[in-house]
Every structure is written in structure tokens, then in C-alpha cells.
Amino acid sequence: MKTALITGITGQDGSYLADFLLSKGYSVYGLVRRKSKLDFNNAEHLKDKVHFIFGDMTDQASLIRAMEIANPDEVYNLAAQSFVTASWETPLSTADINAIGVTNILETIRLIKPKARFYQASTSEMFGKVQEIPQKESTPFYPRSPYGVSKLYGHWITKNYRESYGLYACSGILFNHESERRGEEFVTRKISTAVAKIKCGKQDILELGNLDAKRDWGHSEDYIKAMWLMLQQETPDDFVIATGENHSIREFVELAFKEVDIEIEWHGLGAKEYATFKGTDKAVVRVNPQFYRPAEVETLLGDPSKAESDLGWKREVSFLELVKRMVDHDLKWIQKS
């Protein structure tokens, strides 16, 4: 039986990956942060199946302890401060967790179990102001946020430990992937919960930032399989994981409201004009510059052909199905609450 250690197990991807590895017969260990209130977030259902170890990416002693307890064959480093907007508010802790944290865990592997295979959660945000369309493994990077910059360090230090010490270390350059377990501050989940609340009469208006930004969106359950496949190859390598199609935020909003048969009234009104707005039967979607970013990633589009040919990976959930699954889930959730 193989053993895996997952950092970020309480997050979207970590929890799906744990489900997947358990279904493959793995013994799974997960690193969990100490908080004032014990909270397993997306891993609540895993409490009896996974061995949780308290630790933090910024505390190398805790990583050494976790490696000694778990003695893993595979380490999946999914822990991160993953919200791009928050990275301008907390740039230093973002760098501590997403950049230095990766060195902490790589050093720990090198010292304690250099044979363990390592997966690093790299991101399409490293392409930022894109230098080529579509983006592939060889596309030059141009990150546009403290988050993107911190992840670029994590990406290169992973490559460096592979080349310096011969570790089996891979980075998956994953494009946006969403799900019913996505954090509510990310745009897709913000939209799907708002649609559900508006349908149930519990919210009046959906306020968003840049509606024209485009993302290459897949489902997390497809993407975590690619992480596992990367660690099952003969030699370690880096791969772009994407769908090969992109859509705007506006398109996501349109499809989500269509799912519940509600028409949209788009508003560019400022706060003053909006105060005198008389109301409508339709759902109001309003642009609020508060949600604009200091520097935006306007468009991302990945080329997954290397992963498809070398790993035999292919996404299964279509864009339409992704929107439908998220809205259906949130509708049930809001109706129940």
C-alpha cells in the first residue's frame, strides 16, 4: 500500500485528491493548520479516513515532524494562500507560504526521505500578462500579482531541486479549476451562490469586477487526477493542465442565470444613480470597481497537449457541466439552509 502526504488537504483540491487516493487504496496523511476553532473545511468528511497532522508551511520543524510521522511515498504540496486579490493585501505572508514554504518542504524531503516523489501546485497565474496564445510549458512567464510572483519562485525551486539533487519533483501548471467545493470568494463560486440566493429571494444583486477577463476553466476532480499521473511516470517533468478553451466572466454569469431561468439586467450604474434605481423583475448584475485588481490577468488559455499525449490525461467535465454542477449544488444548499 502506498502512502501520501497532502498539504492543503482542507482546500478544494486537497480534499478531492484525498478522496481519489483513498479510492486507490492509499494511506493518506494530511497537514492541517491550527486555528482558534477546529475546522476541517472541505475535509470534514475525511475525518475518520485520513491521518491529520498539525503543521504549517512556514514552520519547517512541523514539516519535518509530518514527514517523519507519515513516511510518505508521495508528497502533494497543495497548501497556499491561493486568493490572488488577498496577495496584494498580505504580500509577505503570501510569499512565506507559497514561495519559502516550498523550499521548506523540499529541504525536508531532501533530508528525510529523498526517494519520496513530490508534486508542486504551480499555476497559470505565472503566465499573467501572456507572452503567447495558447500558453504551453515553454511559454515565458510574466506574473501580475504577488501571488503569481510567489508561485513562480515555488515553480523554479522545484525544478532546481530536481536538477540539483535528483529529486523526483514535478510541477503541474494548472489553469483555473473550480467545483462545488470552491472557496466563495473566487468568481465562479461567488456567481453560483449569488444565483442560488437570488433564485431563493435571499439576495437582490450580484456585484462583480472585470466581466471581460477570460479564464480556461475546468473541474477540480479532473485536475487532481493529473497530479497523481505526474507522480506515476518514469521521469519527473512539468505539465500544463487546461481544457484548451476559455470563457469570459460575463459568459459564466449568463450561463449560471440561464440554469435557473432568470433574465439578467446589466448595470454600469454608479452608487449614486443606483440609489434611485426603481427595481426590476430581472436579476441585477452590477459592475463595482471595488473588485478590480491593481494589475489584471486579462486572458488565459492553456494548451494541454503534452499532458494528453504523455500522461494520457483528458478533462471530462465540460464548461457547461461545470456551471450546471456548481449552480445545482448551491441551489440545494441555499434551499436547505
**Cell for 73?**
511515498
- Please say if 254 is a catalytic residue: no
With CB under 6 A as the contact rule, which of the stretches 131-139, 186-194, 224-232, 271-279 interacts with ligand F7E? 186-194
- The active-site residue, picked from 7, 94, 119, 125, is 125
Which of 129, 286, 293, 306: binder of ligand F7E (CB under 6 A)?
293
Between strands 247-248 and 214-215, the pairing is antiparallel
* From ligand F7E, ligand NAP, none, interface partner of 187 (C-beta below 5 to 8 A by class): ligand F7E
With respect to ligand F7E, which residue has the nearer C-beta, 51 or 129?
129
Residue 95's binding partner among ligand F7E, ligand NAP, none (Cβ under 5 to 8 angstroms by kind) is none
Would you call 125 a catalytic residue per the annotation? yes
Sign of the torsion angle spanned by Cα atoms 305, 154, 246, 228: positive
What are the two backbone dihedrals, phi and then psi, of residue 332, each rounded to the nearest 5 degrees? -60, -40
* Positions that interact with ligand NAP (CB under 6 A): 7-8, 10-14, 31, 33, 41, 56-58, 78-82, 97, 121, 123, 174, 176-177, 183
* Residue/partner pairs of 185-188 with CB below 8 Å, 24 or more apart: 185/83, 185/85, 186/83, 187/249, 187/252, 188/217, 188/252, 188/322, 188/323, 188/326
- Residue 238: phi, psi to the nearest 5? -105, 145
Neighbours of 291 (CB within 10 A): 14
**Whose Cβ is closer to ligand F7E: residue 53's or residue 322's?**
322
End-to-end CA distance of the chain: give it in Å, rounded: 41
CA–CA gap between residue 334 and residue 187 (Å, rounded): 18
Mask of contacts with ligand F7E, 69-88, x by CB under 6 A? -------------x-xx---
Give the one entry of ligand F7E, ligand NAP, none that residue 67 binds, where binding means its C-beta sits below a cut-off of 5 to 8 angstroms depending on kind. Answer: none
- x/- site string to ligand F7E, residues 199 to 218, per CB under 6 A? ---------xxx--x-x---
The span from the CA of 5 to the CA of 51, in Å, is 9
User: Using CA atoms, how far apart are residues 117 and 253, in angstroms rounded to an integer?
Assistant: 40
Q: If contact means CB under 5 to 8 A according to the sort of partner, which of ligand F7E, ligand NAP, none does residue 12 touch?
A: ligand NAP
Q: Which three cell numbers stand for residue 165?
A: 539533487
Pattern 294-323, ligand F7E, x by CB under 6 A? --xx--------------------------
Residues that bind ligand F7E (CB under 6 A): 82, 84-85, 123-125, 175-176, 185-188, 190, 208-210, 213, 215, 249, 291, 293, 296-297
